Amino acid sequence: MAKSDTVSLSVIKRLPRYYRFLGELLKSGVNRISSRELAQIMRLTASQIRQDLNCFGGFGQQGYGYNVSALHGEIGNILGLNLGVKTILIGAGNLGRTIATHMDFENKGFDLIGIFDKNSEVIGRRVRGLPIRDVSDLTAFCQQYRPKMAVLCIPKEAAQEIADLLVGLGIRGFWNFSHYDLAVNYDSIVVENVHLGDSLMTLSYRVKDLAEKEAAKEVEQK
């Protein structure tokens, strides 16, 4: 097993994709697959797949390939999907409620145990079977239940202040939808910033680029 500090972020970011594709293969009844076949499905190279997996010990067999079920399970363990990290969500507006309702936290390594907001109109409502609590109860809740991860679905201007509070209450990871790039000055904190607008603008560029290439090709063919 490789040490986490020796594995590049680009490899780590590919692991969920491996896990997802292998899960789909399992559902299709595929029990064994070669690196070449997996590469074709994932649009990677066989060399890239072998290099990525070798970061964690390999898992393939010469002349056999990969056992799909075993590899799926191993990658799940590497990702920590069986840990059930206690998680809270701050901000029960439209985005927060949607994430709480539809995100499969349990199968992604997390256990959502609390939802908080400061809006009196939503406090007391239940989402995913959990009551929306007043954010003023956050300190007492964290001291009692000791969550380690927080989902932030709050306005940009509130993100740094709430992050500082949560770090002091023992939070060690953030899934941050606040549009504020958290720069928490603690070595032990990890942050995954999610910018949905950035993703949409990236798609906009790719659509524009494709249209320009197709237009240029039509001109060449005339």
One fold for 4-78 and 85-197: no
Q: Which residues pair with 116 in a beta bridge?
A: 90, 133
Distance CA 207, CA 201 (A): 10
- Looking at residue 95, its pLDDT comes to 96
- Taking only the tens place, the pLDDT of each residue in 33-77 is 999 999 999 999 999 999 999 998 868 666 678 999 999 999 999
Residues above pLDDT 90, as percent of the chain: 78
Delimit the domains of the chain by residue range: 4-78, 85-197
Helices (H), the chain: 9-27, 35-42, 46-54, 68-79, 94-102, 138-145, 156-168, 196-221
Q: Map residue 59 onto helix, strand or coil.
A: coil
Nearest to 25 by CA among 80, 67, 61: 67
Evaluate if residue 3 carries a pLDDT over 70.
Answer: no
Please compute the mean of the pLDDT values over residues 16-22 and round it to a whole number.
96
Report whether CATH 3.40.50.720 matches the domain 85-197: yes
Report whether CATH 1.10.10.10 matches the domain 4-78: yes
- Looking at residue 108, its pLDDT comes to 94
Question: Looking up tokens 């606040």, which residue turns up?
Answer: 178
What distance lies between CA 103 and its chain's CA centroid?
10
Question: Would you place residue 130 in the very low, low, confident or very high pLDDT band (cuts 50, 70, 90)?
Answer: very high
